[in-house]
């Protein structure tokens, strides 16, 4: 099945008002790109980025599962939408590890975001030790099964508003990338899990690859079956690094 690719940048804890020019430049290039393009920014930048790049897809990097309440430092889906965001990442490994987020938390966050009207990029991925033990596919498949929003919540957003990002933890920011065969094996397995969860609608959910994607490896990665785009960290911070990746996604 042909799926339009999605290239999303994740700025993580980078970005100040001085960087808004980078966002505008990406948004202009995105108008004629052969793929969907988005930038997931620190919450502090979202509203200004939306003003600087009207119509361009700006997202958050996390969302709380509750609508509101006594959750110091957290941001709800309604708040992201209020700031102008149209999507959010959930379940990034940096949050699963540093904030102790469980699959159940990630599932609740994805459901809350979808119900509020956001698109969701749901991240899964294995550690180096799991890969070395030969358990990557079974571990990540089970992580996805436990993290996916339940079918009745997802139904309105599947396949259009839900994407999965496979990000091997050991490949994030390291310059290491799995072999093309390993990426293909994992994405095929995740496609099967999506179809098991959502039936034929699971065919339309985009599965992104993330972890040391660069201009030099993007085209080869995008050529793998069931790789429907990328979640890009470090190489999304500068337009000159990011746009060649967008260009490769046709």
Under the criterion CB under 6 A, does residue 213 sit at the interface with ligand G3H? yes
Residues 76-115 that bind ligand G3H (CB under 6 A): 92
d(CA 198, CA 157): 11
How far is 12 from 18, CA to CA, in rounded Å?
16
Q: Write out the two tokens for 69.
A: 């309440």
Q: Does 234 help bind ligand G3H (rule: CB under 6 A)?
A: yes
The residue from 64, 92, 101, 111 that is catalytic is 92
Instruction: Tell me the DSSP string of 117-147.
Output: T-EEEEEE---HHHHHTT-HHHHHHHHHHHH
167 given a catalytic annotation:
yes
Which of 41, 232, 246, 249 is close enough to bind ligand G3H by CB under 6 A?
A: 232
Nearest to 232 by CA among 155, 152, 165: 165
From candidates 15, 91, 202, 210, binder to ligand G3H by CB under 6 A: 210
Q: CB of 211 within 8 A of CB of 125?
A: yes
* 233 assigned to a ligand binding site: yes
Q: Which stretch binds ligand G3H (CB under 6 A): 43-51, 67-75, 195-203, 232-240?
A: 232-240
* Residue 101 is among the residues annotated as catalytic for this protein: no
Q: Which of 211, 222, 239, 245 binds ligand G3H (CB under 6 A)?
A: 211
Contacting residues for 246 by C-beta, under 8 A, at least 6 apart: 7, 26, 29, 30, 33, 35, 37
- Binder among 233, 239, 242, 246 for ligand G3H (CB under 6 A): 233
- Asked if 212 touches ligand G3H (CB under 6 A), the answer is yes
Confirm whether residue 204 is marked as ligand binding: no
Name the residues that contact ligand G3H, by CB under 6 A: 10, 92, 167, 172-173, 210-213, 231-235
């Amino acid at each position: 099945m042909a799926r339009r690719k999605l290239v999303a940048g994740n700025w993580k804890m980078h970005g100040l008002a001085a960087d808004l020019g980078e966002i505008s430049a990406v948004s202009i290039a995105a108008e004629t790109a052969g793929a969907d393009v988005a930038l997931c920014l620190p919450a502090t930048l979202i509203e200004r980025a939306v003003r600087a790049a009207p119509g361009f897809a700006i997202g958050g990097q996390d969302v709380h599962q509750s609508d509101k309440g006594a959750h110091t430092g957290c941001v709800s889906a309604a708040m992201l939408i209020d700031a102008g965001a149209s999507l959010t990442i959930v379940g990034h490994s940096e949050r699963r590890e540093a904030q102790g987020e469980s699959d159940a938390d990630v599932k609740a966050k994805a459901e809350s975001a979808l119900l509020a009207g956001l698109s969701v990029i749901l991240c899964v991925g294995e550690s180096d030790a799991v890969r070395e033990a030969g358990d990557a596919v079974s571990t990540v498949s089970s992580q996805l099964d436990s993290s996916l929003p339940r079918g009745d919540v997802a139904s309105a957003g599947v396949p259009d508003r839900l994407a999965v990002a496979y990000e091997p933890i050991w490949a994030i920011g390291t310059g290491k990338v799995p072999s093309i065969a390993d990426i293909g094996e994992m994405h095929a397995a995740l496609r099967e899990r999506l179809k098991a969860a959502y039936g034929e609608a699971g065919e339309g959910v985009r599965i992104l690859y993330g972890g040391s994607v660069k201009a030099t490896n993007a085209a080869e990665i995008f050529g793998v079956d069931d790789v429907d785009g990328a979640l890009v960290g470090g190489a999304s911070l500068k337009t000159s690094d990011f746009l060649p990746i967008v260009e490769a996604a046709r």
